[in-house]
Amino acid sequence: MLTLRKDDIKKLLVLGNSLTVHGPSTDELGWNGCWGMAATALDNDYVHRLYSMLCEYISAAPQLVVDSFLAVDFPGYKAFTAKNKLLQSADIVVIQCGDNMKDSEATKENFEDLYCGVVEGLRRDGCSLVLCVGCWGQSQRINEMIKSVCAKTGSSFVDIAEIGAIPENCAKFEGIFSHPGVAWHPGDMGMNRIAVRIFDEIKKHVVV
């Protein structure tokens, strides 16, 4: 199993869909944040909850890089990283995507192979530990494809489907956002539970 020393963790890279970061869309969605939908504040989304946990755990503040990453927009690794060199050479990478594609539309060619190419590209560019987060929704087929990528690349799969299946973890339960698409996302409680699930996986790979 791949291990990292606490002192060697200098950069956390998080790539994801709207659960990870979504810019303001006040008129269409009633959403004015620029963080993980539908947390009530930046510090409450799973990325920043995870970052806070990691900083406390390693007693340091590694660089945090966050970028959008839609499964339906896989551009190939070279095109993806060319826009932002900060995507390269991270000690820990979290990839969270899959919910923007229907289970019935996902194939080995249009999802699994492209996803695998991104993970392999990140590894070639010096990224150490890669964690692949499964779907928030109940996308069993896509989750199986992500697990397959993890098996091929030596990455870690983080399952969050059971968290998403609990009503109290969804923003709809909190009653803050009226748009159904926004309310489908994790609320503050769901975001924290996602962060804990990812953090628990990270700790398995970290040594003093």
Q: Are strands 11-16 and 92-96 parallel, antiparallel or unpaired?
A: parallel
What's the one-letter identity of residue 109?
A: E
Distance CA 198, CA 80 (A): 24
What's the one-letter identity of residue 152?
A: K
67: Cβ–Cβ under 8 A, 6 or more apart, which residues? 13, 14, 15, 21, 84, 87
**Residue 31, pLDDT above cutoff 80:** yes
Instruction: Give residue limits of the domains in the chain.
Output: 4-207
What's the one-letter identity of residue 167?
A: P
Distance CA 54, CA 8 (A): 13
Identify the CATH number of the domain defined by range 4-207.
Answer: 3.40.50.1110
Q: Could you tell me the two tokens for 100?
A: 């923007």
What average pLDDT does the chain have? 90
**Residue 74, pLDDT above cutoff 80:** no
Q: What is the dihedral of CA 102, 104, 110, 112, to 10 degrees?
A: 90
Give counts: helices (H), strands (E), the chain: 9, 7
pLDDT of amino acid 75? 54
Which of left, alpha, beta for 30 (phi over 0: left; psi -120 to 50: alpha)?
left
pLDDT of amino acid 69? 72
> What is the distance, to the nearest Å, from the Cα of residue 107 to the centroid of all Cα atoms in its chain?
21
**Residue 158, pLDDT above cutoff 70:** yes
Closest CA to 90 of 21, 7, 158, 10: 10
Confidence of residue 118 (pLDDT cuts 50, 70, 90): confident
The tens digit of pLDDT for each residue in 43-53 reads 999 999 999 99
Considering only the C-alpha atoms of the chain, give the largest distance between any 2 of them, rounded to a whole number of Å: 49
Which of the residue ranges 40-54, 65-79, 175-189 would you say has the lowest mean pLDDT? Answer: 65-79
Confidence of residue 161 (pLDDT cuts 50, 70, 90): very high
pTM: 0.94
Encode 162-199: b = buried (16+ Cβ within 10 Å), e = exposed.
Answer: ebbeeeebbbbebeebeeeebbbbbbbbbbbbbbebbb
Q: For residue 89, report the phi and psi dihedrals to the nearest 5 degrees.
A: 55, 55
Confidence of residue 94 (pLDDT cuts 50, 70, 90): very high
